[in-house]
Structures are given as structure tokens and as C-alpha cells.
Amino acid sequence: MNTKTATDHDILQRAAHDHLLLHFTRNGNFGPDANELLVLERGVGPYVFDTKGRRYLDGLSSLFCAQLGYSYGEEMAAAAAEQLTTLAFNTNWATAHPAAIKLAQALAERAPGDLNKVFFTNGGSESVEAAWKITRQFHLANGEPGRTKAISRDIAYHGVTLGALSFTGVVNMKAPFGPPAIETHHVSNTNSFRAPDGDDEARFCARLLSEVEQAIVDADPETVALIIAEPVQNAGGCLVPPAGYWPGLREIADRYGVLLCADEVIAGFGRLGELFASTRFDVVPDLITSAKGITSAYAPMGAVVVSDRVAEPLYADKQTLLHGITFGGHPVSAAIALQSLEIFERDGVLENVREMEPYLAQRLQSLRDLPIVGDIRGAGFFWAAELVADEQNTRFDADQRERLLRGFLPRRLLEAGLIARADDRGDSVLQVAPPLICDESMLDELVEKMAEVLADAGTFMALDA
């Protein structure tokens, strides 16, 4: 039952407008004289409730984080309470604490290949920054100080701190902040939808890989330090790689002495049905960056998992790892991450994703019947519908995207009780990534709500034309 008074709701709306700066948001869009801000205060299973008691299916797992949904609070609170009443805090900065040590061991045991060393952070951007510093120290130790450049992909999002922002390939997020800290060469991502050879997986893959190799050659191979890419790229709309792509990246990286980092900030911790997404693509990268789902969002945390080979120089006589973050691997976050891992294994969370993926995929494919849907793509519990203007898959222009993605869809999705992401960092997409505990009926509800909203979106855009 909703016990909140309207006054609580209104006071929060006012205070949010007066004091809270919203991330990646047009802050002026919200406030007492503008749009109402979605303020969520409670969650159960995959559902969240706002300050008026309205229920939403969280089809985005709170920005790809809430792997377990919202009903494990008591268990997580018990793990946190035990840690807080034993030792509230210690760093991993020349000392350590049992929770970080146990979590590092648990992750190393589950990571592919010889990825046995773990550096903890507080989130994704920090993980990407740490991966870069470890990469640089590796090359320096091997007498290759000239390896200062990186390869990443168009439209990819790798975070916004100034180092990570260099790798991010979303041009308008970078432009105001000057030259990138790290020289980065961006290559094509794995979007096959409009690619001329997109239907021929082998040819498409070969072309993408030869572009990566050419970028390394053009940059001068002895100056390239790192290739960083997501197993399935988020920005652009769940871009699944063609078969052979990741083993191909591995081969190219090895040929030129470049390290390979899989950025699993979204793709990891079950989103694709594996704890480490690289496993799904038959590759053992040199580094894996993680965050978001590592604690199922019951606390903030990130991690870089590093291979023995790459970490080796850090153990040499008088060598110091020249990177540190005060709260990286906070005991409470580590205790919660351990609890989350235990729940994953006890409650068969990965198994649920693997079992449900074909059903979800098949249900989502039915959305292709709607004229506004041009493509459905994704894997695991991570999917996008690409939205198009007509049967020829014409892209919406900037004005249409403004009306559809920033006007119509956010409002209509909330009316339908669904949280999903309308995005046009690449082409126009509606993305969903439900909590990994969703059963068939919850996935039905997700797809039905998407169908309802997208049908209306089609009518809206047709009337608007």
C-alpha cells in the first residue's frame, strides 16, 4: 500500500530540482514547472515503485546493474552488517582485509585462463583507468615505453573520467573536454545491421579484423599498447560480434605485442549468461574490466582482473603498482559482492539466463512485425530494438529523434510501467536488460509492454510525419 502523502512526493520533486544535479540529463527538463522526475523509493523482485506508489518493471536493471533485482536486501544487509560490526573499513593499499582477499580469490577461480590477479575499484570508469595504468606498467617493464596508444571502437562507451573518455567513441561526449589524454584510434564496431556485408558473417568478421590490424599498422605497431572492446557493445544497441571476432582480436593483439582488454562492465556478471562474458566468445583477454553487476548493485564496486603474465612485472623486485584508490575494494562492497556470488550459484542465476535466453529472443523477435522496428539484436538478457522511419529502414533525422527518443518514448514507457532505454548515441534504439532473475511471465510482461509502447510510437511518428 502506498503510505506516502502527496506532500512527500512534491517536497522531493522540489528539493531534487533545487539541489540534485542529474547525471547525463538535461537538468532543466525537470522541476515543479516542468516534467516530473521519476523518483524511485522501493523495489521487489524486478519491480520498482515511485514516490506515488506507481509500479514499474525495471527492464533496464537500474542501468545494467541490478542483476538480482530488489528482493535480496535482507541477505545483503546481513552480509553488510556483519562486515560493518567487525571491521568497517580498511584499504587495499599496502594492507588488506579478508573480504577483499576472499573476493579476489573467488573471482580468480571463476575467471577464464590465467586471469588470476584482481585490482578493486569503485566503478567502471575507474576500472578502465586502472586497466590502462597496469597496461602501461607492463609495457614499461618490458622495455617498450613507446607503447602509448590504444585501439577502441566507434560509439563505444568506456566511461567518462579523462583517461577512459579517450577510449569512449561517442564524439559529442568528448568534444568539450579537449584533446584526449590517451591517443586512441577508433575502428568500426560490430553493428551488422546496415553493413553491406552484414549478412555474410565470415566476410563481415574478416573485414572488421583487417580494419583493426590496419589501424595498428597505421599507428605504428610498436606504439600501440592496448585494444579495448566490450564483448557485446552497449552503445549503438547491443552489438553482438560475428563468430570468430574475439579469437581474431586475440590473434592480432598477440601478433603485434598489444594487450587485449575486454570491458565487461555491462556484459559481465551474468548479463550474457556467463560470469565473465569473454567465456561466451572463446577468448582469454589479458585484462577484464568489471563493475555494475559485480555486487548486483547492492553496493558500488568495480574490478580489473589481470592475467598472471601482465601482472608479473608488478611483483618484480622494488616494483610498485603506481595506482591506488582509497575506497577500491571497500570491505562492505566486497562482502556484498561475495554474498551476490553465493546467491548467483545457490539460486542458479546464470542457469536462468541461459534457459530463458531463447524464449526472450523469440518473444522479442516478434516485435519485428511492428513497422517502427527495423532490427532486433542482442544476447543473454541484453537486447535492443532498432527504430526506423519506414520499411526501407531509413534512419530518423535529428528532429524526429528529439521528438521520439527524448519526447514520446520516455513519457509513454513510464505510462506503460516499464523502465527501458531510448538511446541514439548510435542509431535509434530501445534497449532492455531485465534483472537476471526474471521468469517467463516477467519476460512476457516486458515484451508486451515494449510492443504496446512501440506500436504507439509508430502511430505517433506516422502522425508526426
Q: Residues in the site for ligand PLP, rule: CB under 6 A?
A: 123-125, 128, 157-159, 230, 234, 263, 265-266, 291
Which residue lies nearer to ligand PLP by CB, 124 or 163? 124
Long-range contacts of 160-167 (CB under 8 A, 24+ apart): 160/125, 161/125, 161/126, 161/128, 161/129, 163/128, 163/129, 163/132, 164/124, 164/125, 164/128, 164/129, 164/132, 167/128, 167/228
Helices (H), 142-181: 162-167, 171-174
SS3 call for 17: helix
CA distances from 329 to 85, 98, 128, 303, 306 (A): 17, 11, 15, 8, 15
- Return d(Cα 372, Cα 366) in angstroms, integer: 13
**Residue facing ligand PLP at closest CB distance:** 124
Nearer to ligand PLP, 182 or 457 (CB): 182
CB of 394 to ligand PLP, least distance (A): 28
Residue 273 or 293: the one with the smaller Cβ distance to ligand PLP is 293
- Looking at the DSSP bridge assignments, the partners of residue 419 are 58
The single residue listed with the C-alpha cell 597505421 is 218
Long-range contacts (CB closer than 8 Å, 24 or more residues apart) made by 239-242: 239/189, 239/190, 239/191, 239/377, 240/190, 240/377, 240/378, 240/379, 241/190, 241/205, 241/281, 242/190, 242/192, 242/201, 242/202, 242/204, 242/205, 242/208
Q: How far is the CB of 128 from ligand PLP (least distance, A)?
A: 5
Smallest gap, in angstroms, from Cβ of residue 155 to ligand PLP?
12
Which one, 266 or 379, has the nearer CB to ligand PLP? 266
* Nearest distance in Å: CB 119, ligand PLP: 15
Nearer to ligand PLP, 237 or 374 (CB): 237
Instruction: Give which of 273, 454, 317, 306 is closest to 374, Cα–Cα.
Output: 454
Nearer to ligand PLP, 293 or 374 (CB): 293
CA atoms of 430 and 387, how far apart (whole Å): 7
Rounded to the nearest whole angstrom, what is the least distance from the CB of residue 163 to ligand PLP in the complex?
A: 11
Question: Which CB atom, from 121 or from 137, has the smaller least distance to ligand PLP?
Answer: 121
Closest distance to ligand PLP from the beta carbon of 326 (Å): 16
CB of 125 to ligand PLP, least distance (A): 3
Residue partners of 366: CB distance under 8 A and separation at least 6: 447, 451
Q: Minimal distance in Å, beta carbon 65 to ligand PLP?
A: 9
Nearer to ligand PLP, 203 or 280 (CB): 280
